[in-house]
Amino acid sequence: MRFLFFDIDGVLNKSADWRLRSYSMDDALIKTFCEFVRKNKLTPVLTSSWRIGFVGTLSSDNSPQIRELESKFQKYDVEILDKTPVAKGHSRDEEIAYFCRRHPNEGYLILDDDPTEYGTVTSHNFFTDSATGFTEEVAKKMEKYLKTRA
């Protein structure tokens, strides 16, 4: 299993959207993301602050915005596996490392718009521009990375 750790704000929506409405989602970005996940056989894991609302895959106890996101993902046959832990005082890369130590994997990618969330940026990190979100250009860079790790 290869994980794709992903943020939402600035990745699956654009800064102009989330500045107007909290928990916004861009259907075109979600489509691009889900197609990338399926094509590359990746398993999505939430790193976003939205993860607080994630109880479990397709759980009725998930927050309304997570249920809406999962509904949009289901159209593309994609499910969120899990979320990283919330560890106060630790960076997202530390939370991801903790998650990976407890979940066997064959590699991972990290997709975010904010490098300041990470104590250490590695070749696993890919960053979107929050003004555009997840684009085909970013997808191509990630696919190139995956091909070198096959």
Asked if 62 and 52 touch (Cβ cutoff 8 Å), the reply is no
CATH number, domain containing residue 43: 3.40.50.1000
* Cα 33 to chain centroid, rounded: 9
Q: Look at residue 150 in the predicted model and tell me its pLDDT.
A: 58
At 25-63, the pLDDT tens digits run 999 999 999 999 999 999 999 999 999 999 999 999 999
Q: How confident is the model at residue 88 (pLDDT cuts 50, 70, 90)?
A: confident
Q: Which residues contact 13 (CB under 8 A, 6 or more apart)?
A: 24, 25, 26, 29, 133
Segment holding 37, helix H or strand E: helix 27-39
Q: Is the pLDDT of residue 99 over 90?
A: yes
Mean pLDDT, the chain, integer: 95
Please count the structural domains in the chain: 1
Domain carrying residue 29: 2-148
